[in-house]
Structure 1
């Protein structure tokens, strides 16, 4: 596998688009590896990856995964119980 560039240091995202029949779970795993090794602001990197690879690949599992990566995470819900109500 050839090395990538600053946007895709390991070339993982590019390679994922070349794998026939790749699953969503595999794309999420690749995306996580990319996110852990990416040195920039992830939202900017994701947008750049979509601009590079996303044209005409709307239904590809990696395109879907990248789009999900741009969504804001859900705010955590407060868990119930005594611990949540009592201040030490």
Structure 2
């Protein structure tokens, strides 16, 4: 995997798998940086990265982070005005 290819423009994901003792917060930060620099469809890119790094441990923090990136976020509920300040 070449550093700076179309799938991993800065080689961030590749490097994260090489860092001994990397933890989830660091992986999330690296993932955010990747997401901001990736020019394609994010879901496709994440899925392709998971395939590329499928030989890595399933519980590696970056693998867990990438899998979480594929999950559909639940829509939040916003309560504005008086309803936000006064309990039901």
Number of the residue aligned with 1:58: 58
Number of the residue aligned with 1:5: 5
Q: How many aligned positions are there?
A: 83
SS in 1 for 2:17: helix
RMSD between aligned residues: 1.8
SS in 2 for 1:30: helix
Structure 1 residue 83 displacement after superposition = 6.9
1:25-36 alignment, distance < 5 Å:
25-36=25-36
1:19-62 per-residue CA deviation (whole Å, 9 max, x = no partner) reads 00001000000000000000000000000000001334201000
Runs of 4+ deviating beyond 4 Å: none
**When the two structures are superposed, what TM-score results if normalisation uses the length of structure 1?**
0.86
Is there any run of 5+ residues in structure 2 with no aligned partner, and where? Answer: none
Structure 1 residue 82 displacement after superposition = 2.8
Number of the residue aligned with 1:14: 14
Structure 1 residue 74 displacement after superposition = 1.0
Is there any run of 5+ residues in structure 1 with no aligned partner, and where? Answer: none
Structure 1 residue 14 displacement after superposition = 0.2
